[in-house]
Structure 1
Amino acid sequence: MSVTTPATRGPGLLHALSAFRMPRFGKRATFLTVAVVAGILVLPPLALMVWTSFTPGGTIDESGSFGFSAYGDLFASENFRKIAGDTAIFTVCASLLALVLGGAMAFFVARTNMKGKGFVYGCVFLNFAIPGMIEATGWIILLGKGAGVMRPPIEAVLGWAPVAQSMLGLVVIQALSWAPMVFLLLVGPFRAMDASLEESALTSGASRFTVLRKISAPMMAPSILAVLILVVVRAVQAFEMPLFLGSSAGIRTFTTEIYSSLRKSFIPDYATASAFGTMLVVLLSFGLYLYHRATRLSSKFTTVSGKAFRAREIDLGPWRYLAGVFAAGAFVLTLAPVLAMILTSFWPRLGRGDGLGDFTWHNYSEVAGYRNIWTGIKNSVLVGAGAATVATLLCLVATFIIVRSKVKGRQSLDHLLSVPIVIPGTVLGLAFLILYLRVPLPIYGSLWLIMLAFIAHYSPYAMRYVQPALVQISPDIDDASRVAGAGEVTVFRKILLPLVMPAVIGSWLYVFFHAVRDVSIASMLYTAATPVVATQLLDMWKDGTAGALAAYGSMLSVASIAMGGLAFWLAKRLGFSL
C-alpha cells in the first residue's frame, strides 16, 4: 500500500511537532488515562442532570426528595403539547427539505455535467464560515415582520411575501442552512456509484425513470436514509434559528424551552429543565441507534466489481446551464443575509424609504463602546483555541490506541467519546452548569467551564476527522519502523503524526470555528465576567440594539470568511490538503 506524504514545504512545522516528546507511558496506562479524562468530561454532568430531574424541589447545594413529579408536570402541561408539536413540525419539514435540496446539489455535482459547480462549493464554505446567529439576523433584515427590506418588492410582484419569523420561514431558512451539510454527506456516495449498472439497464431498454426506481434508488437508499436520520437528530438539537426566528412568532422547541426555563425566573427550575434534557438525550440516542442501523444496511447494496470504475457524468445538454443558474441562485441565497447585514450596518434606513439613506459609521462606533466588547473577542479566541487543541490531542491519542493497539476494551473509548454527539448544546450546558454549581471546584463562572463543555461537545467530531485518516495508513509502516529499531513513541511522532497532519489541522479548524460561534452551550454557562462573542451577539439581540448587532455581525462574518480562507491557503502552502 502506498501512502502519500505531505509536501516538503513547511518542514519547520512538521519538525517542531515531530520533535515533541510524549511521556513514555505504556499503551495500557495511556488507554486508562484517556478513558478517565473522557469519562470525567462526559459522564458526571450527564448523570447529575438525570438525577436532578428525579429530585425536584432541591436547591443548588442539595437535591430534593426522589420522585417523578418533574416528568409528570411536564407531560401534563398544555405547554408540553405545544412544544412537542412545534418541534415535530419543524424537525420533519426542515429535515426533508434539507435532504431534497442537499441531495439534489450532490447529484448534479457528482453525476452530471452541470455548469457552475464552484457555486455549490462556495455555498458550503460560506455555510461553515458564517455563524447561525448572523445568518438568522440577516434573514430578519431581509424578510423580517414589518421591517424586512425585501418584503415590499416581493409583495408588489407576487401579492404575498414570506416572513422570516414564522414556521414556514423558520423551516425554509434552516433547510437552506443544512443543505450544504447534506451535500457533503451525499456527494461521496453519489460519486462512488458504478454507472455501468445504470448504462446496462438503459442498453437493455429500461427508461430513465425505471433505472432510477429499480437501480439507482436502492443503491443510494442506505446512504440517504442514514443522512436523513442524522439531519433529524440535528434538527431536534437546533437552537440558534428556533431562538432567533421562532421565539418572536410563538414557536417553541425543546432546546429553546430549556434555555427559557432557566432565564425566565429569578430562581431557575433545574428539575424541569433537566427533565427536558433527559428526555431529549433518550430520544436522540434512539435516533443515533437508527442511524447506525441504516449505515450497516449499506452492505446489502454493495457493487461487486473486480475492476476500477469511475462514475460517468450524465449529459444534461442545454439544461446544464439552467442547473448552473440554480447553483448560482443557491450561492446568492447563502450570501444574501451577510450582504444585507453589511449594508444595514452602514445604511441603517435601508428599505425604509427611497434609496439607501445616509451613510454612517455610528453603528460601528456603538460596537466599539459596547460593554466588554474586546474582552468577549479575546475570551472567544482563548476558549476556541484551547478547546480545539485539547479536543484534537485527546482524540488523536485515543484514535492511536483504538486503531493501532490491541488493548482490551479499546472500542469502549470510541463509544465513550461519542456520547456527546446525541446531547444538544443546551442540554450539555445545563448538565455542566448543575455539576459545577455543586462540586467544590472553583471553575463556575470562569472560561475554564465553557472550555471544558466545548471539549466534551466537539470531541466526537474531532474523532471523526482523525480516525479515518489513521485507519487508511497501513500497519505495515509501523511494523517496518519497529524492525528498524523505532519505539512506539518514535513511530507515533516521526511517522504517523506527519501522515495524519492534514486531518489534525482539519479537526483543529473545525472545533475552533464552531466553538467560537457556538451559542447553545455558552448561553447556559457565561456570566457578566466571562462574555464571549456568541453571548454578546445574543445580548445585543435581547437588548434590541439592531444597529450594533448588524455592525458586530458584519465584522464577525468578514473575519470568519477571511480566517477560513487564510487557513485553507496556509494549509496549501504547507503542503497539506484539507
Structure 2
Amino acid sequence: MTERAAPRRRLGPLLVVAPLFAVLFFLIPYPIGILLLGSVSRVEPTRIGEALRHLDFSYYAEMYSSPALYQATLNSVIGCVGGALLAMLTGLFFAWVVARTDIKGKGAIEIIAIMPLFISPLIASMAWSILASDRAGILNIFFKDLGWDFRLNIYSFTGIWFVLGVYYAPYAYLFLTPALRRMDPVLEEASTISGASTWQTVRRVTFPLIIHPILSAALLVFVITLGLFAVPATLAVPVNLHFLTTYLFNLVTGNPPAYEKAATVSVLLIALTFLGVFLQRQIIGKRSFVTVTGKSTQPRLLKLRRWRPVVLALVLLYLCLTVVLPYLALVLVSVRRFMFFTSVASIFDANMLTTQHFQFVWSHAQAIRSIGNSLYMGAAAALAGSLLCFLTSYCIHRTELPGRKSLDYLTMIPIAVPGLVIGVAYLWAWISFPVPIYGTIWVLALAYVARFVPDGVRAAGVNLLQVHKELEESSRIHGGSFWQTLWRVMVPLARPGLLSSMLLLFILSVRELGSSIFLYTTESIVLSVQIYNQWESGELGATAVLSLVQTLLLVGVVVLARKYVMRAEAA
C-alpha cells in the first residue's frame, strides 16, 4: 500500500509545479520577451516566427544616438541617486532611534516611520505641488506674509529629491532596522573600554559594521524609484524636465504611437534597473561582517538624555512633512472653490468653502466607475496573486522538486522590470492575443500580479519557513496526500501570513499607476489613473477629493484586515 501511494505523493507536487511554470511564463517572460522582440523587429512581435525573420536593430541606432534620451537618462540618475541618499539617511535615522536608543514610545515611532508606505507617490507629489509650488504654494504664501525672503520650489531636482527621500525612507528603515537590532555589542563595548567616545565608537566601529546594509538600502531605493512615473510626471514635466519614464510615456502616447522606439527605451530602463539589483546583490553577498553570534546578546542602547527632545522633534517633523501637511493641503483644496491665494487670510476665507468638488465626483460616472474598478481589481489581484504566490513559495521552500530554483528565479524577474515597462509589455503582448482580455479589468489584474509577484512570494515564504517540517511529515506518516497535507495542515498554519500577503497585494494594486496608464479604457479605468487624469485636466478640487477617497479606502481595508489577521493568529 505504501509503495503504491509513493508515486502518487510524488505526482501531487509535480501537478502543482507544471501549471505554476505555465502561469508564470505567460505572466512574466512572455510579455517581456514580446517587448524585447518588438524592439529588434519591423514585424508585429506577436507573430514570433515572422518577427524573428525580420530582425532590425535600426531603432536602437536611432534612439541611442538621441541627445534627448541621454538627457532623460542623466535626469533619472541624478533624481533617483539624490532621492536614494536622502531616503537612506532618513531610514538610518529612524532605524537607529528605534533599535539603538533608549527613547520612549518606540511603537509609535515605528508606525510613523512606515506611514508613507500607505501613501501613493502620486498623491504625495500632487499634495506637495500644492504646498510648495514656486508661484502659489501654500507654504510660500505663509513665508510671504511672515516677511521672509524665502521661497520653496518643488518643481526642481531638490523638490524631487525631497519627495523621493521622505516617502521612500520606510524601505531603507525596514532594511536597516534588523541589522542594527542584531548587532553583537562586544566590539562597541571594547571600543568604549579602550577610551573611545560615543561618537568615535559610532564612526569607527558601528558604522563600518553596517556599511554594507546601508549601501544595499540606498541601492534598493534607487532601483524602486528609477521606474517611478508619478513623481517625475507631476514634479518634473511641468518645468520640461524629463525622466526615462516620462520620456517613455510620451513615445507611447504620441501621435502616432512609437511602440518600437518605446521598446528600446524600455530595454534601457530594464538594463539600468537590473544593474542596480545586481550591485545590491553583490554588496550583500560579496563580503560578510558577522554581527550576530551564537550568544544571546542585546545591543547597548544609547542614552539620549538632553538630545531626546531633539530626536522627538525630528520624528514629529517627519510626520508633519509626510502626512499632516500634505493631507491638510488636500482637505483644504477639496473644500475651496478656487485654488488661488493672495494671503494667509484668503486661505481660510469661509466664503470660499464649498462642497461642489464632492458633488462633482459623486455625479461623475467615470469617477465612480474607477472607484469600483479599483476595489474589484484589487480584490481579484489579491486573491489570485496570493494563491499563486503561496503555491509558488511552497514549492520553492517546502519541496525538493527539480526546477524549484528556476521557479524562484522566475519570480524575481519583475524586480528588475519597472511598472511602466510592464504596462508597455502587456500592451503589446495581449492586444492581439487570441483570448480577448485587453481592454478589460482582467489585463490590469494580471499586470498587477506580475508586477508584485516578488513581494507576494517573499511575504508567503517568510511565513512558511516558520512552520516546522515535522508537522507535514506527521501528516504524511498518517497517510495524508500532498493535497490533504497542504490544505489541512499548511493552509491553516499559514493563514495569517496568507492574509497579510493578500493585504499587501491589494494595497500595492490599488496604488499602482505605472502598470495601469497604458492598459485602461474608459470602462476599465482605475482610481489611480482617474486621479492622474483629473490632475492633468487642471481639476484640482476633484483630484483632492479622489485622493482622499483612495486614502480612506486603503486605511479602512488595512484596519479591517488587521483585526481579521489578529483573530486568525489568536485562533
TM-score by length of 2: 0.92
Give 1:52 shift: 0.9
Q: For 1:108-119, list aligned pairs within 5 A.
A: 108-119=97-108
Kept in 2, the 8 Å contact 1:56–1:70? The answer is no
2:319 corresponds in structure 1 to 331
1:176 corresponds in structure 2 to 166
Give distance in 2, aligned partners of 1:348 and 1:126: 30
Give 1:119 shift: 4.8
Q: For 1:1-400, list aligned pairs within 5 A.
A: 26-56=12-42, 65-155=54-144, 156=146, 158-265=148-255, 267-297=256-286, 300-303=288-291, 305-335=293-323, 336-349=325-338, 351-353=341-343, 354-355=345-346, 356-357=348-349, 358=351, 359-400=353-394
Percentage identity across aligned positions? 27
Does residue 456 of structure 1 match 2:450? yes
2:532 corresponds in structure 1 to 538
Give distance in 1, aligned partners of 2:486 and 2:250: 47
Give distance in 1, aligned partners of 2:444 and 2:320: 35
Give 1:229 shift: 1.6
Kept in 2, the 8 Å contact 1:49–1:434? The answer is yes
Give distance in 2, aligned partners of 1:44 and 1:59: 11
Give 1:54 shift: 0.9
Distance 1:57 1:249, change over 3 A: farther
Structure 1: 5+ residue stretches without partners: 1-22
C-alpha distance after superposition, 1:448-493 (max 9, x if no partner): 1111111111111101101122123222222233223333222222
Give 1:384 shift: 0.8
Kept in 2, the 8 Å contact 1:56–1:69? The answer is no
Give distance in 1, aligned partners of 2:294 and 2:67: 60
Kept in 1, the 8 Å contact 2:337–2:356? The answer is no
C-alpha distance after superposition, 1:87-119 (max 9, x if no partner): 111011111111111111111111012345445
Kept in 1, the 8 Å contact 2:378–2:509? The answer is yes
1:547 corresponds in structure 2 to 541
Give distance in 1, aligned partners of 2:533 and 2:143: 31
C-alpha distance after superposition, 1:224-247 (max 9, x if no partner): 122122111112111111111111
C-alpha distance after superposition, 1:537-563 (max 9, x if no partner): 111012111111112212222332233
Kept in 2, the 8 Å contact 1:116–1:325? The answer is no
Give distance in 2, aligned partners of 1:60 and 1:419: 21
Give 1:58 shift: 6.0
What secondary structure, in the 3-state scheme, does the structure 2 residue paired with 1:251 have?
A: coil
Question: Aligned Cα RMSD in Å?
Answer: 2.2
Kept in 1, the 8 Å contact 2:495–2:568? The answer is no
Structure 2: 5+ residue stretches without partners: 1-8
Does residue 405 of structure 1 match 2:394? no
Deviates more, 1:107-116 or 1:359-368: 107-116
2:512 corresponds in structure 1 to 518
Give 1:132 shift: 1.7
Give 1:293 shift: 1.8
Structure 2 counterpart of 1:493, from 487, 490, 496: 487
Distance 1:573 1:478, change over 3 A: closer
Give 1:443 shift: 1.2
Aligned letter for 2:457?
A: M
C-alpha distance after superposition, 1:357-386 (max 9, x if no partner): 232101101111224222211111111111
What secondary structure, in the 3-state scheme, does the structure 2 residue paired with 1:522 have?
A: coil
1:432 corresponds in structure 2 to 426
Kept in 1, the 8 Å contact 2:117–2:167? The answer is no
Q: Which has the higher contact order (CA 8 A, sep 6+)?
A: 1
Aligned letter for 1:485?
A: G
Give distance in 1, aligned partners of 2:314 and 2:476: 55
Deviates more, 1:241-250 or 1:61-70: 61-70
Kept in 2, the 8 Å contact 1:502–1:576? The answer is no
Give 1:157 shift: 5.2
Give distance in 2, aligned partners of 1:475 and 1:57: 52
Kept in 1, the 8 Å contact 2:34–2:45? The answer is no
Give 1:264 shift: 2.5
Kept in 2, the 8 Å contact 1:222–1:297? The answer is no
Give 1:325 shift: 1.1
Give 1:412 shift: 0.5
Aligned letter for 2:80?
A: T
Deviates more, 1:410-419 or 1:194-203: 194-203
Distance 1:416 1:69, change over 3 A: same
C-alpha distance after superposition, 1:501-535 (max 9, x if no partner): 22211111111011111110110101122111111
Distance 1:549 1:24, change over 3 A: farther
Distance 1:60 1:148, change over 3 A: farther
Aligned letter for 2:250?
A: S
What secondary structure, in the 3-state scheme, does the structure 2 residue paired with 1:441 have?
A: coil
C-alpha distance after superposition, 1:419-461 (max 9, x if no partner): 1111011100100101112332211111111111111111111
What secondary structure, in the 3-state scheme, does the structure 2 residue paired with 1:525 have?
A: coil
Distance 1:343 1:117, change over 3 A: farther
1:17 corresponds in structure 2 to none
Deviates more, 1:156-165 or 1:433-442: 156-165
TM-score by length of 1: 0.91
Distance 1:376 1:269, change over 3 A: same
What secondary structure, in the 3-state scheme, does the structure 2 residue paired with 1:26 have?
A: helix
Give 1:164 shift: 1.5
Kept in 2, the 8 Å contact 1:380–1:516? The answer is yes
Kept in 2, the 8 Å contact 1:44–1:435? The answer is yes
C-alpha distance after superposition, 1:189-213 (max 9, x if no partner): 1111122321122012223343223
1:14 corresponds in structure 2 to none
Kept in 2, the 8 Å contact 1:138–1:338? The answer is yes
2:4 corresponds in structure 1 to none
Q: For 1:498-509, list aligned pairs within 5 A.
A: 498-509=492-503
What secondary structure, in the 3-state scheme, does the structure 1 residue paired with 2:64 have?
A: helix
Alignment length (residue pairs): 553
Does residue 478 of structure 1 match 2:468? no
Aligned letter for 2:131?
A: L
Give 1:284 shift: 1.6
Kept in 1, the 8 Å contact 2:330–2:545? The answer is yes
1:16 corresponds in structure 2 to none
Deviates more, 1:142-151 or 1:211-220: 211-220
